[in-house]
Amino acid sequence: MSFDFNADDILQIAIDIEKNGAAFYRTSAKKIDDPSAKALLLDLAAMEDEHEKTFQTLRRSLSEDEKASTVFDPGGEAALYLKALADTRVFFEKTIDSSKLEGILKEAITAEKDSIVFYLGMKELVPETLGKKRIDAIIREEMSHIKLLSKELVSVR
């Protein structure tokens, strides 16, 4: 069975990915001793919280067409598939040296890149009439995360 997804589906996944990111930063902050690194990680978690709110606002602004279901899916299998994919590909549990900020930032950059690849792929599954252009806003937001994380990584080195 083939699914077309809509902007509403993708924004829900974006919200879940931001929640995963915030949890990643908070968990990492608990494992690191350096107070300034801990503060940075908590700030990054707070930024993920803000991005989650941004995506919730975007989701609320969708038209009915952009929320329209494209297939009969009473069990919500399409949404469950997307959530499982997002949970296992972006900000999933990683084996890293969480005592060093550099390693945490590198993994965060990798996760952000993974999320962009995920959204680019999902964008191809969203028809224009179901909000394909809305996915660009998510991608721009994730690209801004990479810019910020890269700047922090340079300052740590």
Domains and CATH numbers, the chain: 7-156 (1.20.1260.10)
Query: What is the per-residue pLDDT for 58?
Result: 85
Q: Provide the token pair at 19.
A: 């929640």
CA terminus-to-terminus distance, the chain: 48
- pTM attached to this predicted model: 0.78
Higher pLDDT: 78 or 33? It is 33
Count of CB atoms situated within 10 Å of the CB of 7: 29
Q: What is the pLDDT of residues 115-154, one digit of tens each?
A: 898 888 888 878 887 788 888 888 998 899 899 999 999 9
Query: What is the per-residue pLDDT for 57?
Result: 92
Query: What is the per-residue pLDDT for 150?
Result: 95
Q: How far apart are CA 6 and CA 145, in angstroms?
A: 24
Q: Provide the token pair at 6.
A: 């809509």
Q: How confident is the model at residue 1 (pLDDT cuts 50, 70, 90)?
A: very low
Q: Provide the token pair at 67.
A: 């929320």
Q: Are 117 and 90 in contact (CB under 8 A)?
A: no
Q: pLDDT exceeding 90 applies to what percent of the chain?
A: 29
Q: Are 7 and 66 in contact (CB under 8 A)?
A: yes
Residues 32, 108, 23, 80, CA torsion sign: negative
Unique residue bearing structure tokens 């969480």: 98
